[in-house]
Amino acid sequence: MSGGDYVAGKPSNDDASMDRLSTLPNSVLLHVLAGLGDAAAAGRTSVLSGRWRHLWALLPELRFVPRSPKPGLIASALAAHEADLRNLDVTTQDAARETVAAWLRVAARRLAGSLVFTNQDVPRNGRDSDDDDGEGRRSVYDERPRRRGVARDDDDAKQGRGAFELPCLDRATSVSLDLGHLGLTMPRAGAFARLTEFSLINAQLPGGGPCALGDAVSSRRCPCLQRLTIMDVPGVEDLTVRSDSLRHMELTRVRDLRQLAIVAPALEHLQVLLCFYRHWPRRRPVASITARQLKVLKWGDPFDRRSVQLGKKHLEAVCPDLFLVYGIWPNNGCLELLRCFNNIETLSLTLVHPPDINNKPCLLKNMKMLPGVTFLNLSVISNGHAFGASLFHVLRLCSSTRKLTLHISGKGLELEKQTACPPGCICDEQQDWKFEELLLNHLQEVEITELRGYEHEVIFLKHLLGWATELKKMTIFFNSLVTESMARKSYQILRRFSRLEISMDFYMEKSTMTVSYVPKD
Query: Does 152 score more than 50 pLDDT?
Result: no
Query: Does 510 score more than 90 pLDDT?
Result: no
- Averaged over 227-252, what is the pLDDT? 96
> How far apart, in Å, are the Cα atoms of 32 and each of 42, 56, 112, 194?
9, 10, 22, 30
**pLDDT-based confidence at 211, cuts 50/70/90?**
low
- Residue 365 CB burial class (10 angstroms; 0-12, 13-18, ≥19): exposed
User: Could you tell me if 169 and 192 are in contact, meaning their C-beta atoms sit under 8 angstroms apart?
Assistant: yes
Specify the pLDDT at position 428.
65
Residue-wise pLDDT for 168-188, tens only, equals 999 999 999 999 999 999 998
Q: How far is residue 336's CA from residue 334's CA, in Å, rounded to a whole number? A: 6
Specify the pLDDT at position 215.
94
Q: Which of 93, 100, 92 is nearest to 123 (CA)?
A: 93
Q: How far is residue 384's CA from residue 373's CA, in Å, rounded to a whole number? A: 28
Query: Does 488 score more than 90 pLDDT?
Result: no
Residue-wise pLDDT for 22-78, tens only, equals 554 555 555 555 544 455 544 444 434 444 545 566 677 888 877 655 667 888 788
Q: How far is residue 507's CA from residue 510's CA, in Å, rounded to a whole number? A: 9
Query: Minimum mean pLDDT among 146-150, 190-194, 230-234, 473-477: which range?
Result: 146-150
Query: Does 324 score more than 70 pLDDT?
Result: yes
Residue-wise pLDDT for 156-168, tens only, equals 444 435 789 999 9
Query: Which runs of E-coded beta strand occur in 370-472?
Result: 372-381, 403-409, 445-451
Average pLDDT, the chain: 80
Look up the pTM and report it.
Answer: 0.81
Could you tell me which residue, 364 or 405, shows the higher pLDDT? 405
Q: Which of 180, 188, 238, 178 is nearest to 210 (CA)?
A: 188
- DSSP per-residue string spanning 141-198: S--S-EETTEE--HHHHHTTT-EEEPP--TT-SEEEEEEEEEEEE--SS---TT--EE
User: Could you tell me if 214 and 237 are in contact, meaning their C-beta atoms sit under 8 angstroms apart?
Assistant: no
Q: How far is residue 90's CA from residue 117's CA, in Å, rounded to a whole number? A: 5
Domain boundaries, the chain: 28-120, 320-412+424-520
Specify the pLDDT at position 383.
85
- DSSP label at residue 336: H
Specify the pLDDT at position 330.
79
Query: Minimum mean pLDDT among 249-253, 401-405, 506-510: which range?
Result: 506-510
Could you tell me which residue, 152 or 489, shows the higher pLDDT? 489
User: Could you tell me if 89 and 63 are in contact, meaning their C-beta atoms sit under 8 angstroms apart?
Assistant: yes
Specify the pLDDT at position 188.
86
Query: Does 126 score more than 90 pLDDT?
Result: no
User: Could you tell me if 38 and 62 are in contact, meaning their C-beta atoms sit under 8 angstroms apart?
Assistant: no
Percent of the chain with pLDDT over 70: 73
